[in-house]
Amino acid sequence: MLFLSGTPDVTPITNLILNWTHIGQALVGSVGALAFIFAFLWKITSVEAKSALEAKQWIQRIVVGTIGVEVAGALVTILTSSVPTSTH
């Protein structure tokens, strides 16, 4: 069997995963920045203490979500770099 004789070239799949990961990070970063700005403005302009507390909680969620995306991106990079590539 000729197609099983060598190691498969996973470089195109690895590049595809990395490209989509970078696109996802950019999209989440842009939406996260916009959401952070709106939550911050909501916190500053809120009259009631309960509303300000809710805005603060949303800011915390946005920050944790952004950190999660960065950690996931680092994990994808580590996993895709651990896959052996073909040396053809």
**Residue 38 domain flag:** yes
Asked if residue 8 belongs to a domain, the reply is no
User: Under a CB-based contact definition with an 8 Å cutoff, are residues 79 and 21 in contact?
Assistant: no
pLDDT in the model for residue 32: 83
Domain that holds residue 72: 14-81
Query: Residue 57: inside a domain, yes or no?
Result: yes
Q: How many structural domains does the chain have?
A: 1
Report yes or no on whether pTM surpasses 0.75.
no
pLDDT at 5: 58
Question: Does 32 fall in a domain?
Answer: yes
Give the pLDDT of residue 84: 72
Question: Using CA of residue 33, residue 36, residue 38, residue 41, what is the dihedral sign?
Answer: negative
Within-domain flag for 42: yes
Is 2 a domain residue?
no
The whole-angstrom separation of Cα 61 and Cα 59 is 5
Q: Which residues contact 14 (CB under 8 A, 6 or more apart)?
A: 80, 83, 85
Please give the pLDDT value at position 57: 92
Give the pLDDT means over successive 10-residue stretches in the chain (88 positions): 64 85 84 88 89 90 85 83 67
Helix, strand, or coil (residue 47)? coil
Q: What is the pLDDT of residue 3?
A: 58
